[in-house]
Amino acid sequence: MAAFRTAAAVVDALPEGELDRRIRTRTLTDLRGIGPKTGAAIVQAHAGEVPEYLARLEEAYSELVPLADDVAEFRSALRGDLHTHSDWSDGGSPIREMAEAAIALGHEYMALTDHSPRLTVANGLTAERLERQLDVVAELNEELSPFRILTGIECDIHLDGSLDQTDELLGRLDVVVASVHSDLRAESAAMTARMLAAVANPHTDVLGHCTGRLLIPREQREGRRQRPRPESAFDAEAVFSACVEHGTAVEINSRPERLDPPLRLLSLAVELGCSFSIDTDAHAPGQLDWQDNGCERAVETGVDVDRVVNTWTADELLDWTAG
């Protein structure tokens, strides 16, 4: 990493406007101390992206580096996860395997939040399939007690801000995570109105991965490959303030390719007094362990552990989502 420190010092010392000029004219690497790798990282960082090289390093080493004490303590306060997928939608594993992995991690509960009907690429559940899933979950819960699978959904937010499932079903679910998955490049005003409507919906408990950014490319079902994408534009202050007003938690999404919200927005949400849910958005049992990422970011931005809804007991949590 010394090369990056050197390169950062070189960039810091450049006169105003010189970095832009060098990026434009592709002459960054003419500077002493900046090579092809560090040069590429600077260009990506300058464009507001986490450099691909750094993201990969972080991913590769995160499993080897022990958690800092304060992060480990934060993590140990989490009792469950409010955003997980099974093979009923685009996850890779049966509900039971996800639940068993959560139990092995010491969790007390896991909200099962498979996708809603509109997200056909992710095999979203129709109302009929969701009804059937509720029966399956009820049976599993008898068997796995005292562990509790909370019923739920990751519900698409339509363009007009309405939610992609019947009101009746949304009312029966324990946890509703509402997320934007389409038209991510919309104008800020339209995106803000869309998110505000979803946050104000009485069924919504958690606002999922609010910016929709993807830091590194990823493989999806059927070999589909998604390219990195920047944050959606929206009025974060208005949206987070609405979250406070309507008692909707802001998700801290722990997926390494998401890490959403970005730290600057997470700090804003802390400042405005939001509640949070530190979720993995796991699509496989091993991914349930990703909460470390979210805890690290929560500690870094001064999130109060009592404001994290998944540190609460299942009963406290259900009181909150019902309210």
Residues at the contact surface with Zn ion, assessed by CB under 5 A: 154, 179, 281
CB closer to Zn ion, 154 vs 292? 154
Task: Classify 183 as helix, strand or coil.
Answer: coil
Rounded to an integer, what distance in angstroms lies between the CA atom of residue 67 and that of residue 136? Answer: 36
**Closest C-alpha to 80, from 116, 112, 122:** 112
Residue 175 Cβ vs Zn ion, minimum distance, rounded to whole Å: 12
Residue 57 Cβ vs Zn ion, minimum distance, rounded to whole Å: 25
Rounded to an integer, what distance in angstroms lies between the CA atom of residue 213 and that of residue 228? Answer: 7
CA atoms within 13 A on the CB side of 318: 14
Task: Classify 140 as helix, strand or coil.
Answer: helix
**267 φ, ψ to 5°?**
-60, -40
Residue 152 Cβ vs Zn ion, minimum distance, rounded to whole Å: 11
Residue 28 Cβ vs Zn ion, minimum distance, rounded to whole Å: 35
CB closer to Zn ion, 205 vs 281? 281
**The amino acid at 284:** A
Residue 307 Cβ vs Zn ion, minimum distance, rounded to whole Å: 22
**Closest C-alpha to 113, from 256, 195, 185, 209:** 209
Residue 253 Cβ vs Zn ion, minimum distance, rounded to whole Å: 8
Rounded to an integer, what distance in angstroms lies between the CA atom of residue 167 and that of residue 26? Answer: 54
CB closer to Zn ion, 289 vs 300? 289
Cβ–Cβ under 8 Å, residues 104 and 147 = no
Residue 106 Cβ vs Zn ion, minimum distance, rounded to whole Å: 22
CB closer to Zn ion, 179 vs 291? 179
CB closer to Zn ion, 140 vs 177? 177
In angstroms, the Cα distances linking 113 to 133, 159, 229, 302 are: 11, 21, 24, 27
Tokens, residue 28: 């960054």
CB closer to Zn ion, 7 vs 243? 243
Rounded to an integer, what distance in angstroms lies between the CA atom of residue 178 and that of residue 190? Answer: 17
**The amino acid at 136:** V
**44 φ, ψ to 5°?**
-65, -45
Residue 279 Cβ vs Zn ion, minimum distance, rounded to whole Å: 8
CB closer to Zn ion, 44 vs 291? 291
Residue with tokens 């406070």: 244
**Strand locations in 46-97 (E):** 80-84
CB closer to Zn ion, 28 vs 98? 98
